[in-house]
A and B are shown apart, each in its own frame.
Chain A
């Protein structure tokens, strides 16, 4: 069987030309780094957009120097128009959700480490893998191109609700060409992620080395596998939705635009479309997307914590079952985004029930982490700090989910800053903390050098405090009735909230500046960092059995064979308190029975 699987893969020799080595590379590790680079570029753009929005919210009439260069009509004299505020908000959400939260934890880390953790030389379809990245990159360029068309990017938000997103120019600036570019970009992105998911699933199922049963996969590998299953089914639904949206724009169809819609005294040339249809299709993708962003973080954080706690989690299998349950339930809860959409109120009850149920696996995951941490002699380093930060953000953001899961409360809180605070903590910040944990942990393996720990810890504390200063007040704003998507709050009852908005803006700028500590550390350590040992964290999984950085074919002349589950810590062995997965050494102590 093994011979068959190995020969069935189109393996490739080490590339010699610059283009094949660094640009159109078939090597999963290079593709992983390319995805990481794309996410880094995207997050910088997304962060600058959030700064612009936050400055405008705090000081609505203050000009932002240079902004008129981005759009003369959207920011005359450097002051955002309400429409351009929405356009920037749309691009912030789109870039962050698709090109950061999906690409970094899933595509970047997964590409680099999944084949190594399963003991494979590469993914089974390297050409598809290369296409996956470059298709995603084209999608990014198409999305960013929306800034440079006459009306600018769309203003319909990252959710692109119809009919706003489907009627074209009449709906406002950016709703013509900009919206088409948005839909095209997301459709292309879906193709890229489908190709990636295909590779991830087959890698996990078919490329495992001898002895690597599914239960012996590290939790990070399990998380990427579960995420790829979600990606396969979720992006396959968003793709047709985007095709239909594009047709409503360019072919004059009426999938999403209802009859007799009048905009600016003009009757729209559409008939009978269903605006709810878009929401159903979008959120059938959209809610699993939340878990596509967060489940890889769960796996990475577990992987990082275990190595630093020097003991396995309370239950390896329960953690896997819980992540799997989250994936399955994520398809059943999507209607909770639509409680106030006008769908049948009975549907709200139907969707509310699984939404409350999904808190059970979420809670189990958290309890396993906390129970495992309790009493452990945790090694405090940048990676483990960000892993704990992830748990903190996941709990804080998750608790507000309990409230939003109930239609009667959601009716009050819907479209307020409470929702914005909730999803930024539980999805965005938590996922990004997972990315940071993974970066600090695996950087020595990727580069052969250590990141600076002092800078890493400083980065953590500034980010941790900064994130809470920004997003916890959002909840209070929401409860005070502060609606989202407004470009300024200078009128009536929102006026007393302005000091809080100013505080949040200052915190956002400070937290953003703190990220440059990370960027500096990343690039400085890449070239000048302390040389890393092959296994600096004394971890047990297969990536730590190979040189840093890994050779082209990962395991060199060796064909890995696995004898143990991935986390044999707290044992007595010739190496210390741990046994590597590929060590044939028999485990002597009680760790064997865990």
Chain B
């Protein structure tokens, strides 16, 4: 990987230490410069960006589904045309698949950690559980497609009723995000196979994938209650 990063100063001390030494007399934020200009005594504030980035992404996605939810609640109350219907049973099986995929992803993280730590070798297929997670994720999306087919077989299409409209919109938007997560898993597998996988990449993908679980559980409850 091409890089132009330069080595930062090696020695670090905390701001608390600085204050204790009387280096900073202004609450520690304005002028941390020590009298001798020792650059080692300057605090570092950075943390891994991917770790922060995924929380930022999760915030945005949560906001999007919050908007959909408020739209659903307002639309349901705006006219007496809301039609309740039984959710396709396959959704419950899909839920089990998605939760199983999160379990398998955690298994994958343990195996990869052991592989990276040197207690397992390549012959023990460190990517095995990642492939299982990928398969379960794909089955979930196929399961959602089956749910749409079952619903349309009952005569409930996207424009049939506002309740069915929201069903399709919410499940399709979630499925698109799951597909995004699957692409992330493919990326992780490729990096692992090339032996350039960073831990933060795997952790970030895992966080996103688990968030898809939580989000789906929320949507399932919302749909179950409102539809």
Residues on A facing B (Cβ under 8 Å) = 1-14, 121, 124-125, 194, 197-198, 201-203, 205-208, 210-216, 232-233, 236-237, 239-241, 243-244, 247, 251-255, 258-259, 271-274, 276-277, 280-281, 284, 552-553, 557-559, 561-565, 584-587, 592-593
Contact = CB atoms under 8 A, between A and B. Distances in A.
Contacts of B7: 559
B158 A213 contact: no
B61 A258 contact: no
B9 A561 contact: yes
14 contacts: A10-B1, A11-B5, A198-B56, A206-B46, A210-B39, A215-B30, A241-B67, A253-B159, A254-B165, A277-B74, A277-B75, A565-B29, A584-B33, A584-B38
Contacts of A586: 33, 35, 37
B63 interface: yes
Contacts of A207: 46, 49
A365 B211 CA distance: 39
Nearest to B8: A2
B179 to A, nearest CB: 15
Interface string B162-198: 1001000100010000000000000000000000001
A106 B29 CA distance: 26
B63 to A, nearest CB: 4
Central interface residue in A205, A212, A564, A592, by most chain B CB within 10 Å:
A205
B9 A211 contact: no
B53 A124 contact: yes
Interface in B64-84: 64, 66-68, 70-71, 74-75, 78-82
A215 B24 CA distance: 14
Given A215-B29, A253-B165, A273-B79, A194 B60 contact: yes
Given A124-B49, A254-B162, A244 B71 contact: yes
Nearest to A235: B60
Nearest to B3: A11
**Top-8 shortest CB links A-B:** A272-B79, A124-B49, A584-B37, A13-B2, A274-B78, A236-B63, A252-B159, A563-B33
A564 B6 contact: no
B5 A272 contact: no
The winner among B4, B32, B66, B158 for most chain A CB atoms within 10 A is B4
B47 A1 contact: yes
B52 interface: yes
B50 interface: yes
B42 interface: yes
Contact of B8 (A3, A240, A243, A585): A3
Given A6-B5, A559-B8, A233 B31 contact: no
B82 to A, nearest CB: 8
B54 to A, nearest CB: 9
B213 to A, nearest CB: 20
Contacts, number: 210
Nearest to A14: B4
A294 to B, nearest CB: 21
A247 B44 contact: no
Contacts of A253: 158-159, 162, 165
B121 interface: no
Contact of A121 (B5, B46, B56, B78): B5
B2 A7 contact: no
Given A198-B53, A563-B31, A237 B45 contact: no
A8 B52 CA distance: 11
Nearest to A3: B8
B200 interface: yes
Contacts of A3: 8
Contact of B71 (A10, A214, A236, A255): A255
Contacts of B42: 210-211, 561-563
B4 A239 contact: no
Contact of B50 (A124, A214, A232, A258): A124
Contacts of B67: 236-237, 239-241, 281, 284
B30 A1 contact: no
B152 interface: no
A274 B75 contact: yes
Contact of A232 (B1, B33, B43, B63): B63
Interface in B10-25: none
A213 B47 contact: no
A201 B51 CA distance: 12
Contacts of A274: 74-75, 78-79
Given A586-B37, A587-B31, A202 B53 contact: yes
Contact of B63 (A210, A237, A241, A592): A237
A201 B165 contact: no
Given A202-B56, A233-B59, A240-B68, A565 B75 contact: no
Contact of B29 (A213, A254, A271, A272): A213
Contacts of A271: 79, 81
Contacts of B59: 232-233
A241 B162 CA distance: 15
A121 B4 contact: yes
B57 interface: yes
B64 A1 contact: no
Contacts of A241: 67, 71
B49 A280 contact: no
Given A198-B53, A210-B43, A277-B78, A237 B5 contact: no
A258 B79 CA distance: 8
